[in-house]
Amino acid sequence: MKSVKGYQCKECGRVFYPERKICLGCGGRQFKKIALGKEGVLLTFTKLHALPMDFESRTLMLGIVEFAHGLRALGQLSTDDVEMGMKMRARWDVVRELDGVQLYGLRFYPAKR
């Protein structure tokens, strides 16, 4: 399983996910992959009841998690028992199958207390 990586600008240190070709902060073009922190904080979320095609479940939990370095990422949530500000852990997993291809992305789980 691939680990979860952010892209850090070698010039100014700002971190992005997903990657960019040119740094939004300084215009730098060199990035290095860095590991996301172990835990992030759930900034906001939604329980989606009207899903696009190809999803078999009736609802889908989605959220934005903020990690160290101010890096944020959107992903699926493993449970609907969540609240804003909750600590979450990220895993890299299959998030959707599109045109017969399995697509990998982030799934967030509540961090164990």
Closer to other proteins by CB, 17 or 28: give it.
Answer: 17
Where in the chain does DSSP place strands (E)?
A: 5-9, 15-16, 31-35, 39-48, 60-66, 72-77, 87-98, 101-110
Alpha-carbon distance values, 53 to 36, 45, 61, 97, 106 (Å): 31, 21, 16, 10, 20
Shortest CA distance to 66 belongs to which of 85, 79, 47, 48? 85
Q: Which residues bind other proteins (CB under 8 A)?
A: 16-18, 24, 43-55, 60, 62-64, 72-76, 84, 95-96, 98, 103, 105-106
Shortest gap between Cβ of 1 and other proteins (angstroms)?
17
Shortest gap between Cβ of 24 and Zn ion (angstroms)?
7
Identify residues 20-59 at the interface with Zn ion (CB under 5 A): 23, 25-26, 28
93 binds Zn ion (CB under 5 A): no
Alpha carbons within 13 A on the beta-carbon side of 23: 18
Closer to other proteins by CB, 18 or 100: give it.
Answer: 18
Pairing of strands 72-77, 101-110: parallel
Binder of residue 15, out of other proteins, Zn ion, none (CB less than 5 to 8 A by kind)? none
Query: What is the contact surface with Zn ion in residues (CB under 5 A)?
Result: 9, 11-12, 14, 23, 25-26, 28
